Amino acid sequence: MFEIKHTLCPSCSVGCGINVILDSEEIVGTFPYKRHPVNEGKNCSNGRSSIEAVGDKLTFDTKVLEEVVGKLKSADNEKITAIFSGNNSNEDLEAIKSLCESKGFNILAYYDNLKNFDSVASYDDVENAASLFVVGNILYDNPLIGRRIVRAKKNGAKVCVNDELENSPTANIADEFTSLTVKEFIDNNKDNFDENSIIVFNKVDSFEDLDLIESVNSKKLPVYSKSNSKGASSLVEAISKEDALELLNNTDILLVFNDDVVNEFDFDFKSISQLVAFSPSKNDTTEIASLVIPIKSWLEYDGSFTNAEGSTQEFKAVCESDNMSIAEIIDKINGELE
């Protein structure tokens, strides 16, 4: 019997809705949720293929969790680091933060070299802006925000794009295109920023660029690559990639919660004594991990994500799993460490 259940797309921080199609409780496909206010019945290719991430599921083993607890008990807490990732729900992030703070573990909070901005532009602001300054290939990386940029242009907005790719989808709609450093781009347009303009960006050249963007007299909208990086960065302050690498160099046990960090950092993760991966499915990080703890995917539990414009959206489980969520596993770890 076919069923259709609504959830949120986990592919980036835009916060689109998707419908998941189930056949006798087996997930067989997706299609857009027509009434969702963010994507309005559209999903990008990443959203449509998001269910593939849970195709190669892992099976929980109590003995492995006991081994992880034993490693944590015998280690120096100051040498234990947890990855704080926007791939996790607000509820799981709260549990990770609480564990680290109570036990004295380090938190590695890294969000694409971006950080939290307390006040951000809404998607409606983007669509109604008089001028837009876009850093990065937003139309390709985040198409449903790109759609708002296209609408703004149709409404008469001037669109200035700064990116490495001159023939990218975003560059092709630009009234003005440059391939400058972020600092040069901001400096060149310092007289054009005002309360009716918005800077939309999904990358910077360095962590210091964020202070420069924050100082500009314009609304800002940072767009993250992970679904809940806005929620994560509101809970724990981001560190730069350089500081993240330094922390990794001083780590004996690395706890990776639902992330694939080996593809994010130019770092030899095999140099860490114990890498513990908590993941719903196989990835490059689980392949090199010392220990792997299977967890529920976002499709298998209730939670919430906070999207790029700061709206917290709840999602419900669309299918069942014998695995535990991160919050449930941390509750067990806490019980064993007391």
Give residue-wise pLDDT tens across range 214-245: 999 999 999 999 999 999 999 999 999 999 99
Residue 163 near residue 170, CB atoms below 8 Å? yes
β-strands 274-279, 253-257 pairing: parallel
Query: For the chain, what's the residue count?
Result: 338
- What pLDDT digit, counting tens, does each position of 241-278 carry? 999 999 999 999 999 999 999 989 999 999 999 999 99
Mean pLDDT of 38-47: 85
Q: Residue 132: beta bridge partners?
A: 159, 198
Nearest-angstrom CA–CA distance, 41 and 21: 15
Question: For tokens 């489980």, what's the residue?
Answer: 317
The answer to whether the beta carbons of residues 30 and 48 sit under 8 Å apart is yes
Q: How far is CA 172 from CA 129, 139, 167, 175, 203, in A?
A: 19, 10, 6, 9, 19
What DSSP letter does each residue of 91-111 carry, written as one string?
Answer: HHHHHHHHHHHHHT-EEEE-B
Per-residue model confidence as pLDDT tens digits over 173-212: 999 999 999 999 999 999 999 999 999 999 999 999 999 9
Query: Model's pTM, two decimal places?
Result: 0.93
Helix axes 326-337, 90-103, angle to 10 degrees: 20
The DSSP code for 19 is E
Q: Measuring CA to CA, which residue among 187, 195, 188 is closest to residue 176?
A: 188
- What's at 54, amino acid-wise? V
